[in-house]
Amino acid sequence: MSDGKLFIKSKATELRTELDQALKKSKPHSKVKIVLKKVIANIILNNNELVPLLPDIIKLLKIDDYEIRKMSSQFIVEYGPENAALAKEAIPYYTRFLEDPSPLLRSLAIKTLSTVKNKDFQIISFEVIKKLLNDNDPEVRKASAYCVSRLFQNDPDRAIRDQLINNLNELLYDNNQIVVSNTLAALNSITETNKSLTLTIDKAHSIALISHLNVANEWCQVYILNSLSSYVPQTSDEALELIEAALPSLQHESSAVVLNAIKIIVYFCNYVKNPQLIIPSLSNRLGTSLVSLLSKPAEIQFLVLRNVILLLLGRRELINLDVEMFFCKYDDPIYIKDTKLEIIYLLANSQNIHSVIRELEEYATEIDVSMSRKAIRAFGNLSVKLVGAAQECVEVLCDLIGNGIPYIVQESAIVLKNILRKYPQRFDFAVDVLLNQYKLIDEPDAKTSLIWIVGQYDDNQERSIKIINDLSSNFKEEPLEVQYALLTAVTKLYLKYPTEGESSMLNVLKWATEEVDNPDVRDRAYIYWRLLSLDENTSGDGGFQEKSKQIILNSSPMISSDNDNIDPKILEELELNIGTLASIYLKPVQHVFRLSKKKQLVPSPALQPRIIKTAEPDIDNYNENENGNGNGNGNGNDNEVNRPSKPLPTRPNTSRVNSSSNTNHSHLAPHRNASSTLSSRSSVISGQKSLDSAGSSFEDSNGKREGFAKRLSRRASLITNRKLSKS
């Protein structure tokens, strides 16, 4: 006989009859248990009709059988709150159990008393809990520790008034490590909900806790490691000592232990200057321990990979990773492939770029459309990020476009737009390749990019005019962004080729001003129209439309990939939350979980200022290597490691100035944003850029800085279906 047939919903009256019959027998135990099993089944199946059985079940408590008592208690916990008056009858039994010699029964009693939310139960629990915290059996002490957090959850004020927290604190010095670590977990649950309470640990105690790590089971290790982040080291030596003490835990088989160990190692690294130089193996060990977690099931891999991204963004110098380990497997789930691509992008540098490009090419030709598109996008981002890689990337892109597969061509068009902006004039051959395939393009984004490229870079007069005529024939039905792009492109063509471009320019402007209902498109068309018909343009000594050319045929501002950086404040908090849910979303913790408590680094004499990375380290790297003045910094890794301590060379400074002056113009940045707000404070000249913008997005510099962060979190939201509501 198996329990399967007991797993059904039943009625209270049926069960009561069965129970009565069972109790008539001289040895009722086994029959009673069967009834109780049915009761448990109904609890699992969430059947609320069993409340009337409460008095019958309470009576069962007097049968001296642990199993019966345990199952009955579960019933009381579940249905007791529904009828407080009846449930009260059970209390005398439990007070008696508390005195029982069996530790199991004592644990059961205090667990039940503290869990039932009725007032009577809670009052009793508060009265007895202190005694049980000092029980001579460790299992009972452990259970009682959790009961304190339960009581705290139900009535925090009373718990504080009764100084239960102090009692828990005393348990931290228990001689049984299981009790200690579980008390830490209990305290953790209290501090995470209460805003005013925080856990503080002194040095002696943190070292004592570490000594428990060896004998503790994996969960206890997690709780101990986690609690170490409550200790604020006062000197760098202390922090180093703790880092070394946590290192062995990186070898643990459980991903929870490893991630928590990484969390506290990274935390303590905040209190040491250049920890990776003091412990040379540190970055290797952190790297390999992360990589080895990739043999875990997909869900855990996903979590690990998201944390790898986090560490790469904020703590590049602390982890040493091989890009090959993040190449996608054929059967990886999409969410893993996605995250791996992001990591490949972050890890690519001038040393490994060749293998990265080969790998991405492989993905791009895959039949899976979304993967292939992402790979192509990665080409674009890479060539913007790494000057040295641009040539190779563009060549691969041209090959791909040459195959004439529609979605590849479309995605490549979008990507090429960014590359051409970054390296004007350098890749004119790519323009030719793309424009040969223009007929395949029908998606708005791709069309917008194509139109912009034609307007900006195509020198072949006949072809440009043909393409633009083709694409504008359907002007009124096009989506907004395509209309914008067309407006700009026809104006440019007119300026370049006054006679041949005139008719299409007139057509488009006419449609836009007379037939389109959207006021933004109309206004924009008017601006162009007025500009072209300005007196200064037509008369005077300058050439044809001199002023308009100055404004419209201007070269666009540079773009760069330095918007990879998430705000250091956010990174700092996320690093304190390695392995948590927020690390999956890579968003400020409070944005994801409104109620969660803010974590931040506590200042101490040893706290190191956070080094804010300057723009584009990889390009600097590349240039340095190319100019042969690498200063003996053999490979890129060394370079990375030394960077914080080195006085910054002049080049990064200037490039930073550049990039900050660009921050207003993110419309062609590698990521595509869709917000459309026009800035009023920009002058005419910079206004040109906004008019020219393909996506017409204007963001303040803050928004730009978080660009990558947004992309990441948006991706996480997409793949995790998180509803983005209020934020």
3-state secondary structure of 481: helix
In the complex with another protein, which residue's Cβ is closer, 408 or 487?
408
Query: Residue by residue, what is the 3-state secondary structure of 374-427?
Result: HHHHHHHHHHHHCHHHHHHHHHHHHHHHHCCCHHHHHHHHHHHHHHHHHCCCCC
According to CB under 8 A, which one of 72, 112, 125, 154 is a site residue for another protein?
154
Q: Which of residues 666-725 bind another protein (CB under 8 A)?
A: 716, 719-723
In the complex with another protein, which residue's Cβ is closer, 588 or 695?
588
CA 322, 327, 333, 334 torsion: positive or negative?
Answer: positive
Any contact of residue 248 with another protein (CB under 8 A)? yes
Any contact of residue 4 with another protein (CB under 8 A)? yes
In the complex with another protein, which residue's Cβ is closer, 216 or 493?
216
In the complex with another protein, which residue's Cβ is closer, 410 or 688?
410
Residues 6+ apart with CB under 8 A from 658: 558, 560, 615
Q: Which two tokens stand for residue 706?
A: 């978080």
Any contact of residue 85 with another protein (CB under 8 A)? no
In angstroms, the CA 494 to CA 514 distance is: 20
In the complex with another protein, which residue's Cβ is closer, 1 or 204?
1
Q: Which two tokens stand for residue 186?
A: 């209990």
CA nearest to 347, candidates 382, 388, 376, 374: 382
3-state secondary structure of 510: helix
In the complex with another protein, which residue's Cβ is closer, 175 or 200?
175
Any contact of residue 633 with another protein (CB under 8 A)? no
In the complex with another protein, which residue's Cβ is closer, 95 or 596?
596
In angstroms, the CA 683 to CA 544 distance is: 23
In the complex with another protein, which residue's Cβ is closer, 130 or 285?
285
In angstroms, the CA 309 to CA 331 distance is: 21
- Range in contact with another protein (rule: CB under 8 A) among 400-408, 450-458, 638-646, 692-700: 400-408
Any contact of residue 32 with another protein (CB under 8 A)? no
Q: Which of residues 585-604 bind another protein (CB under 8 A)?
A: 585, 589, 592-596
Q: How far is the CB of 40 from another protein (least distance, A)?
A: 6
Any contact of residue 288 with another protein (CB under 8 A)? yes
Backbone Cα Rg of the chain:
34
Q: At what angle do helices 353-364 and 369-385 cross, to 10 degrees?
A: 150
Q: Which of residues 343-362 bind another protein (CB under 8 A)?
A: 362
Site string for another protein, 86-125 (x = CB under 8 A): ---------------xxxx------------x--------
Give the count of beta carbons closer than 10 Å to the beta carbon of residue 725: 5
Q: How far is the CB of 298 from another protein (least distance, A)?
A: 7
CA nearest to 167, candidates 129, 117, 115: 129
According to CB under 8 A, which one of 17, 169, 217, 554 is a site residue for another protein?
217
According to CB under 8 A, which one of 32, 50, 80, 150 is a site residue for another protein?
150
Q: Which two tokens stand for residue 99?
A: 């005195």
Q: How far is the CB of 139 from another protein (least distance, A)?
A: 5
Q: How far is the CB of 615 from another protein (least distance, A)?
A: 32
According to CB under 8 A, which one of 584, 586, 619, 709 is a site residue for another protein?
584
According to CB under 8 A, which one of 75, 93, 94, 146 is a site residue for another protein?
146
Q: How far is the CB of 675 from another protein (least distance, A)?
A: 24
Contacts by residues 42-47 (CB-CB < 8 Å, ≥ 24 positions apart): 42/9, 42/10, 43/74, 43/75, 43/78, 44/7, 45/7, 45/9, 47/9, 47/10
Any contact of residue 219 with another protein (CB under 8 A)? yes
Q: How far is the CB of 581 from another protein (least distance, A)?
A: 5
Query: Residue by residue, what is the 3-state secondary structure of 303-352?
Result: HHHHHHHHHHHHCHHHCCCCHHHHCCCCCCCHHHHHHHHHHHHHHCCCCC
Q: Which of residues 169-208 bind another protein (CB under 8 A)?
A: 176, 178, 182, 185-186, 189, 192
Any contact of residue 72 with another protein (CB under 8 A)? no
What torsion, rounded to 10 degrees, do the Cα atoms 160, 166, 169, 173 define?
-160
In the complex with another protein, which residue's Cβ is closer, 466 or 597?
597
According to CB under 8 A, which one of 16, 18, 33, 82 is a site residue for another protein?
33
In the complex with another protein, which residue's Cβ is closer, 226 or 639?
226
According to CB under 8 A, which one of 14, 17, 20, 44 is a site residue for another protein?
44
In angstroms, the CA 214 to CA 249 distance is: 9
Any contact of residue 365 with another protein (CB under 8 A)? yes
According to CB under 8 A, which one of 42, 226, 276, 483 is a site residue for another protein?
226
CA atoms within 13 A on the CB side of 78: 23
Any contact of residue 412 with another protein (CB under 8 A)? no
Q: Which of residues 119-138 bind another protein (CB under 8 A)?
A: 137-138
Q: Which of residues 441-480 bind another protein (CB under 8 A)?
A: none
Q: Answer yes or no: are the C-beta atoms of 576 and 271 closer than 8 Å.
A: no
Q: Which of residues 295-334 bind another protein (CB under 8 A)?
A: 295-300, 302-303, 324-325, 327, 329-331, 333-334
Residues 6+ apart with CB under 8 A from 4: none
